[in-house]
């Protein structure tokens, strides 16, 4: 077990050889492929959020994730009080589906008051349905392929910057249906590739209109890959 490893350790992203030469759908599937085997993981960390005109909020997080070839399940515990559940079913007939369970008696501050969703931390949004590949761009000086994906309910899209050579997600921007300005953004920091090909990240930075949130992981554990 290693300290300072974030949730991407749990999700087991692996380097994709010749990723930038693959057609966009194959590129995306190659990134999803490591998640098709049975696996589980757990991570803990801190969440710090600031909103314009309000006091800074802080909390603790514990995230548990398990996934199979058919589905991903995530459970997020905030401040040892509120528990959120997320189930995402892999695409069937070209469409994926997701279900979110909220605490019966949520104790403030709730997760969404921090501007965070379970899908951010579990990275389940990379399983949203493919729409198109956008022109290449850069993120933090890295050449990236940018893919647009749509949520299972069709109400939202996300543009994801994937590092072109290996496919590591660098940042994401979410758009509400029919809008051209993103309403929230995500940037990953502290990414590192280890000898076994796995990627890890220490910090996630989320932001929107008048608010910003940092999620800093201090511990992660996962089962060994076969």
On the question of pLDDT at 226 being above 80, the answer is no
- Give the whole-angstrom CA distance, residue 188 versus residue 205: 6
Confidence class of residue 93 from pLDDT cuts 50, 70 and 90? very low
The angle subtended at Cα 43 by Cα 41 and Cα 48, nearest 5°, is 150
Tell me the three-class secondary structure of 120-181, residue by residue. HHHCHHHHCEEEEEEEEEEECCEEEEEEEEECCCCCEEEEEEEECCCCCEEEEEEEECCCCC
Average pLDDT, the chain: 80
On the question of pLDDT at 200 being above 90, the answer is no
- Classified as helix, coil or strand, 14 is strand
- Residue closest to 43 by CA, chosen among 70, 12, 15, 71: 12
Give the mean model confidence (pLDDT) for residues 47-67.
Answer: 89
As a dihedral over the C-alpha atoms of residue 133, residue 126, residue 184, residue 136, rounded to 10 degrees, the angle is -30
E strand segments, the chain:
2-3, 39-51, 57-67, 71-78, 82-92, 95-101, 129-139, 142-150, 156-163, 169-176, 184-189, 192-193, 199-200, 203-208, 211-222
Residue 143: predicted pLDDT? 92
Q: Which DSSP category does 112 fall into?
A: G
pLDDT tens readout for residues 137-168: 999 888 999 999 999 889 999 999 998 887 88
pLDDT tens readout for residues 2-40: 333 344 444 444 445 445 678 999 888 877 764 555 667
Q: Cβ distance 223 to 29 under 8 Å?
A: no
Is the pTM here over 0.85, yes or no?
no
Q: Does 116 or 225 have the greater pLDDT score?
A: 116
**Range scoring the smallest mean pLDDT among 149-158, 159-168, 180-189, 196-205:** 196-205
Confidence class of residue 120 from pLDDT cuts 50, 70 and 90? confident
Phi, psi of 209 (to 5 degrees): -70, 105
Place of tokens 């890890």: 200
- Give the whole-angstrom CA distance, residue 158 versus residue 155: 11
Confidence class of residue 86 from pLDDT cuts 50, 70 and 90? confident
């Amino acid at each position: 077990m290693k300290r300072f490893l974030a949730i991407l350790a749990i999700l087991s992203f692996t380097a994709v050889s010749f990723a930038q030469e693959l057609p966009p759908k194959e590129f995306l599937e190659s990134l999803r492929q490591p998640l098709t085997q049975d696996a589980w993981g757990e991570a803990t960390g801190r969440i710090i959020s600031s909103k314009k005109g309000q006091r800074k909020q802080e909390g603790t997080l514990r995230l548990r994730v398990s996934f199979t070839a058919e589905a991903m399940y995530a459970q997020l515990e905030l401040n040892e009080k509120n528990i959120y559940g997320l189930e995402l079913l892999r695409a069937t007939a070209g469409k994926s589906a997701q279900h979110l369970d909220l605490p019966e008696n949520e104790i403030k501050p709730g997760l969404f008051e921090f501007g965070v969703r379970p899908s951010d931390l579990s990275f389940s949004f990379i399983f949203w349905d493919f729409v198109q590949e956008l022109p290449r761009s850069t993120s933090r000086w890295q050449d990236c392929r940018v893919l647009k994906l749509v949520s299972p309910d069709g109400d939202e899209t996300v543009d994801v910057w994937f590092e072109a050579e290996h496919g590591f997600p660098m940042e994401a921007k979410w758009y509400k249906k029919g809008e051209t300005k993103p309403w929230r953004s995500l940037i990953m920091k502290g990414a590192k590739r280890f000898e076994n090909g796995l990627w890890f990240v220490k910090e996630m930075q989320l932001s929107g209109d008048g608010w910003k949130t940092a999620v800093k992981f201090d511990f992660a554990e996962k089962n060994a890959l076969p």
